């Protein structure tokens, strides 16, 4: 796995789809790290990361509650994110995403886990 930014057609389409959902949330920033992963962050804390280079094409990793992770990994489509799965990170391959509303819900869950209380309160009022 290289340290290049996402560049495949499938990877760029996945980043674009996630960007449209994540950037609706208050004070979200997009960043590409030294490993080439695109992350969406609030208060400089990541809640969604995308990468490619592994088997199966580009993937999306989401910061979920451990209970959510336990439920998701029982499905074939989701798996614990390597290296950070013990912290509740859950991944899905882009090709396995069938319900974008579901992904939007998990993005929001991750956002709320990472956002300061003042921003979480803004979500409650939406």
pTM of the model: 0.93
Which pLDDT tens digit goes with each residue over 43-95?
999 999 999 977 789 999 999 999 999 999 999 999 999 999 999 999 999 99
What pLDDT is stored for residue 43 in this prediction? 94
What pLDDT is stored for residue 123 in this prediction? 83
**Alpha carbon distances (Å) from 65 to 6, 10, 56, 83, 108:** 27, 27, 25, 16, 11
Average pLDDT score over the chain: 93
Q: How does DSSP classify residue 117?
A: H
What pLDDT is stored for residue 124 in this prediction? 66
CA angle 54, 11, 46 (to 5 degrees): 80
What pLDDT is stored for residue 121 in this prediction? 87
Residue 79 contacts by C-beta under 8 Å, 6 or more apart in sequence? Answer: 73, 85, 90, 91, 92
- Which residue did the predictor score with more confidence, 118 or 1? 118
The third-level CATH classification (topology) of the domain covering 9-124 is 3.90.1150
pLDDT greater than 50 at residue 1: no
Distance CA 66, CA 89 (A): 8
pLDDT greater than 70 at residue 3: no
């Amino acid at each position: 796995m290289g340290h290049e930014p996402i560049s495949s057609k499938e990877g760029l389409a996945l980043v674009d789809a996630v960007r449209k959902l994540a950037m609706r949330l208050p004070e979200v920033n997009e960043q590409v790290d030294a490993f080439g992963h695109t992350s969406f962050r609030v208060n400089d804390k990541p809640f969604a990361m995308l990468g490619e280079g592994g088997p199966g094409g580009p993937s999306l990793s989401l910061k979920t509650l451990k209970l959510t992770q336990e439920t998701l990994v029982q499905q074939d489509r989701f798996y614990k994110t390597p290296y950070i799965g013990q912290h509740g990170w859950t991944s899905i391959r882009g090709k396995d995403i069938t319900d974008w509303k579901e992904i939007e819900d998990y993005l929001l869950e991750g956002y709320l886990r990472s956002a300061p209380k003042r921003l979480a309160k803004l979500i409650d009022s939406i």
